[in-house]
Amino acid sequence: MTDRLGLARAVALLAPVALLGGALISQYWGGLFPCEMCYWQRWPHMAAIGLALLAILLRRTAGAKPLLALAAIAILISGLIGGFHAGVEYGWWEGLTQCSTTMASGDRSTILARIMAAPIIRCDVAQWELAGISLAGFNFIFSTGTALLILALMAKGRKV
């Protein structure tokens, strides 16, 4: 028999470690520099790692299951941010940050000041794609799927 909660805890730890690790590898060894929304996707993964570690350390206590659920929610939040970011990259909607919004309002000096203050890495342009899916899109797919898997494993009970 397999311990479903043990599997859920392992997934809750390993998935964000792998996704965050992939982001850092692509940044430091792949030359893909993150935009502001890329950083937004990393924070929930970091929180999920901490929550999953606590759920593992406290697995025999009553607080372990809520910590595991919070880890799944953090992973889901990262995925949803990734989905929003992918939509900005695909041009489905405008982003919320200066790295993707239009700055064409105001006089010339104001517009120039905004351009000079804007981040170098644009949030509305995917730096890398595979089969038409950007890194933000992949984060949406993997993080959302992982969060749903963790929650499903938790809902099915402790033992198979």
- What whole-number distance in Å separates Cα of residue 63 and Cα of residue 70? 11
Assign 43 a pLDDT band (cuts: 50, 70, 90).
Answer: very high
Phi, psi (rounded to 5 degrees) for 129? -140, 150
pLDDT reported for residue 103 = 53
Assign 44 a pLDDT band (cuts: 50, 70, 90).
Answer: very high
What residue type is 97 in one-letter code?
T
Give the chain's radius of gyration (CA, Å). 19
State the alpha helices, DSSP H only, in the chain. 4-28, 36-57, 64-89, 108-117, 135-155
Pairing of strands 133-134, 129-130: antiparallel
Contact 146, 136 (CB under 8 A): no
Q: What is the DSSP letter of 3?
A: B
Give the model confidence (pLDDT) of 108-152 as tens digits.
777 777 666 655 676 676 676 668 778 788 899 999 999 999 999
- What whole-number distance in Å separates Cα of residue 139 and Cα of residue 20? 10
Give the model confidence (pLDDT) of 51-102 as tens digits.
999 999 988 888 889 999 999 999 999 999 999 988 888 888 777 765 655 5
On the question of pLDDT at 160 being above 70, the answer is no
| CA nearest neighbour of 85 among 141, 151, 18 | 141
pLDDT reported for residue 104 = 56
Domains of the chain and any CATH numbers:
4-91+110-155 (1.20.1550)
Q: For the residues 3-23, what does the mean pLDDT come to?
A: 92
Assign 107 a pLDDT band (cuts: 50, 70, 90).
Answer: confident
pLDDT reported for residue 1 = 34
- What whole-number distance in Å separates Cα of residue 105 and Cα of residue 96? 16
Q: Which residues pair with 129 in a beta bridge?
A: 134
